Amino acid sequence: MLDINEIQKILPHRYPFLLVDKILEFKEDFIVGLKNVTINEPFFVGHFPRQPIMPGVLMVEAMAQVGGILLLKEANAEAKIVYFMAIDQVKFRKPVVPGDQLIIKLHVLKKKGRVCKMHGEIFVEDKLVAEADLLATIAD
């Protein structure tokens, strides 16, 4: 398990763009992250004022950040960065609102050199709310 201080040692992201609060599980080809969604998120000011919904693109970014932690932590690559090359098969199944807790799971599907394909899923209360396939590379 990694707390926010350990996450910040791995990822270059900072507020308001750091979208991972904690890593709950970490294995060689699997990771589970957590994101608490609060009304204080800056994107809720405009998305949407009367019915706040977390933008889908930010859910995909949260998946990408958890995947980045998996790749960087596994490779002991603190001086490296992860670039995402492709995002495919994205599906949003249910709106995410303030008070939700995102459980973000990523499985490695294939690795070749510095390139990795992962499948990500986001759950709220055991219900799948979003999923996507992500292709990423580790760079210097």
Identify the structural domains of the chain with CATH numbers, from first to last: 4-139 (3.10.129.10)
Q: Could you give the residue numbers annotated as active site?
A: 47
Q: What is the mean pLDDT of residues 115-132?
A: 98
DSSP 61-115: HHHHHHHHHHHHHHTT-TT-EEEEEEEEEEEE-S---TT-EEEEEEEEEEEETTE
**Residue pLDDT, tens place only, 17-67:** 999 999 999 999 999 999 999 999 999 999 998 999 999 999 999 999 999
**Residue 46 to residues 15, 30, 43, 130, Cα–Cα distance (Å):** 18, 34, 6, 21
**Residue pLDDT, tens place only, 68-95:** 999 998 777 667 899 999 999 999 999 9
